[in-house]
A and B are shown apart, each in its own frame.
Chain A
Amino acid sequence: MKLFEPTKHTDAGRQSGEGTMEDLKRIKVVTAHYHSLQGLRTLPFLIWVLLINITDAGEIMGIRGMGLDLRCLLVVPGLGLVWALSRWIGAYYDRAFGQVERLPSHRRSLEWLATILFGIIVFISIWIDGLLRLPVIVTSLVLAAAMAYFWWTSHRFLTHYLVLAAFLVGLALLPLLGVPIDGRWYDHFVSYVFILGVFIVVCVLNHIALVRNVKALSQVAS
């Protein structure tokens, strides 16, 4: 299985119309996720939050003074930079890919419900990881389940979500291989850096998926 692979039009597939049906489904999925596939839009904000948390982690680990100064620098000018970068990236997407307005929220009620449910489950899993110290990282398993669900609802076109899900399951099992699951680093890793890191990777992969899928669709048309 290759990531972002365009539909192969085999003779048998052509006869049954499978290739065309797959392309139409791809168009539907890419259009429905057009905004979320523009992953670079949220990247500056996520990196900003990650930097704030890393400096916070630095302070916890005993690198005092530097953390505080860095945070002062990051909060005010950092936010301005995030805003400017996001605007610039947004303008790039509008210029290169055009604009798609998503379906009204009442037509996406299931999506909203899944997002709220996911948020609650992540919160509970962070709490479980911090409190119970199970031999697996529950947050990682929850994120893996969410990625797999997203892959499934995208008619299995957005393959990178499945690859990430497999990676997260592997990470979740690290404590079983002897990686220690106590100490403050673990709390920080699970609750902030880890989740933010996953979202940053998702954003970048989403952007690549958008570019590759649009390219694949234009090849089909030509």
Chain B
Amino acid sequence: MTEAFEALAGLDKVVHEPARLALLTALSACRSADFLSLQRLTGLTKGNLSTHLSKLEEAGLVEIEKQFIGKKPNTLVRLTVEGRTAIEQHWQALERLHRDAQQWQVDGSQ
């Protein structure tokens, strides 16, 4: 069980925060997504989404491209190579921890 706690402590905090994890998960399933779709997919408010995206950009996990479609501004977000690797590794770690946690429940009930 100690190994599992060490693994938990070792999780990247930038990635593991629930809203950012949701954003990175959404972005890992596509090439790019605009601001509105990320808002719809995660249910975050504009302000929260903007803050989390800035943090992810600072960490080098996402690229943000601002452009105009016609006269309307459009913010396009995509994962960087580092971001894709980080979220894939994070998911593997979570799945591993999830399996371990289920194992504790089975052991505990015996």
- Asked if A217 lies at the interface with its beta carbon under 8 angstroms from chain B, I say yes
- Asked if B80 lies at the interface with its beta carbon under 8 angstroms from chain A, I say no
| A interface residue count range (under 10 / 10 to 19 / 20 to 34 / 35 or more) | 20 to 34
Mark interface residues in B17-40 (1 if CB within 8 Å of A CB, else 0). 011011001111111111111111
Task: Determine if A27 and B30 form an interchain contact, defined as CB atoms under 8 angstroms apart.
Answer: no
A217 with B101, Cβ < 8 A, contacts A103-B29, A103-B30 known: no
- Nearest to A217 among chain B residues (CB) is B43
Which chain A residues (88-128) contact chain B, with CB distance < 8 Å? 97-104
B residues within 8 A CB of A21? 94, 98
Which chain A residues (181-222) contact chain B, with CB distance < 8 Å? 214, 217-222
Task: Determine if A100 and B22 form an interchain contact, defined as CB atoms under 8 angstroms apart.
Answer: no
Task: Determine if B37 and A97 form an interchain contact, defined as CB atoms under 8 angstroms apart.
Answer: yes
| Dominant secondary structure of chain B at its interface with chain A | helix
- Asked if A53 lies at the interface with its beta carbon under 8 angstroms from chain B, I say no
Task: Determine if B30 and A218 form an interchain contact, defined as CB atoms under 8 angstroms apart.
Answer: no
A97 to B27, CA, bound (A): 15
A24 with B25, Cβ < 8 A, contacts A16-B102, A103-B31, A219-B43 known: yes
- Asked if B110 lies at the interface with its beta carbon under 8 angstroms from chain A, I say no
Of the candidates A17, A100, A222, the one having the most CB atoms from chain B within 10 angstroms of its own CB is A100
A101 to B37, CA, bound (A): 10
- Asked if A172 lies at the interface with its beta carbon under 8 angstroms from chain B, I say no
A-B contacts, CB under 8 A, total:
84
Task: Determine if B40 and A98 form an interchain contact, defined as CB atoms under 8 angstroms apart.
Answer: yes
Task: Determine if B30 and A217 form an interchain contact, defined as CB atoms under 8 angstroms apart.
Answer: no
Task: Determine if A30 and B41 form an interchain contact, defined as CB atoms under 8 angstroms apart.
Answer: yes
A99 to B74, CA, bound (A): 10
Task: Determine if A99 and B37 form an interchain contact, defined as CB atoms under 8 angstroms apart.
Answer: yes
Task: Determine if A16 and B25 form an interchain contact, defined as CB atoms under 8 angstroms apart.
Answer: no
- Closest beta carbon of chain A to B62's beta carbon, Å: 14
A residues within 8 A CB of B40? 97-98, 214, 217-218
Task: Determine if B26 and A98 form an interchain contact, defined as CB atoms under 8 angstroms apart.
Answer: no
A104 with B31, Cβ < 8 A, contacts A27-B25, A30-B41 known: yes
Query: Which listed residue (B28, B32, B98) contacts A101, Cβ 8 A?
Result: B32
Q: 28 A–B contact pairs at CB < 8 A? A: A16-B98, A16-B101, A16-B102, A17-B101, A20-B18, A21-B98, A23-B22, A27-B42, A28-B25, A30-B41, A31-B26, A32-B29, A34-B37, A97-B40, A98-B39, A99-B34, A100-B37, A101-B31, A102-B30, A102-B31, A103-B31, A214-B40, A217-B40, A218-B40, A219-B43, A221-B22, A221-B42, A221-B44
